[in-house]
Amino acid sequence: MKRILIADDHSLVRYGLKVALLNHFPDAHIDESWDGQSAMTCLKNAFYDLVLLDLSMPDTDANTVLHWIRNMYPDTKVLIVSMNNEAIFGKRALQMGAHGYIEKDASPDDLIRAVNVVFSGKKYMSADLAEIIVNDTLNRKSMNPFDELTPREFQVAMYIIQDYTITQISELMQLQYTSVSTFRRRIFEKLNISDRKGLVQLADAYKLG
């Protein structure tokens, strides 16, 4: 029997995912969580074969949760289920150790296909995302300037775009204030911008919203 944890702050989304999973895995045991803390509590209390993890939950840095799962429970698979653009966030999630990435507007059949691929021990990504990754590899460098950022820098950049303060970012990412300030400086240098306004404009240009 498979044990699956759905981590998403929208109850309707959790319900839809659960129905789709039980239609294909009727014997599965499925639990639900609504933020990073509740997800981590569930994982501490039981082993899960798979976690369906949303990237945007209140008071939660999903990448920190993903990193924690990969380190504490290496046998647990993590499939990111998100409404964020897979061309940007899908690549980052896979780099951070996720076993797959699927957008929330995918069909139930695509979800089951993704889950089966992850359960088989392979990485799941859409055909479009696979093509982007292959092209980037062949060209050796992406045309997107945000790809020059490290995973941590990218996380900080996304929070700055959302107008989080340095203090808030340090608390969410569990980093020192000075570390986040250093990340911000490096981000501005790498992207050749001077302030948050420039970062937001660049993010809009590359459709990171």
Q: What pLDDT does 85 receive?
A: 80
Structure tokens at 185: 């400086």
Burial of 199 from C-beta contacts in 10 A (0-12 / 13-18 / 19+): buried
Q: What pLDDT does 142 receive?
A: 61
Q: Rounded CA gap, 26 and 40, in Å?
A: 25
**Residue 194: which of 205, 204, 203, 185 has the closest Cα?**
185
Q: What pLDDT does 141 receive?
A: 60
pTM recorded for the entire structure? 0.74
10-residue stretch averages of pLDDT, the chain, 209 residues long: 96 96 96 96 97 91 90 96 86 89 94 97 91 73 79 91 93 92 95 91 79
Domains of the chain by range and CATH? Answer: 3-137 (3.40.50.2300), 145-205 (1.10.10.10)
Three-state secondary-structure class, residue 198: helix
Q: What pLDDT does 185 receive?
A: 95
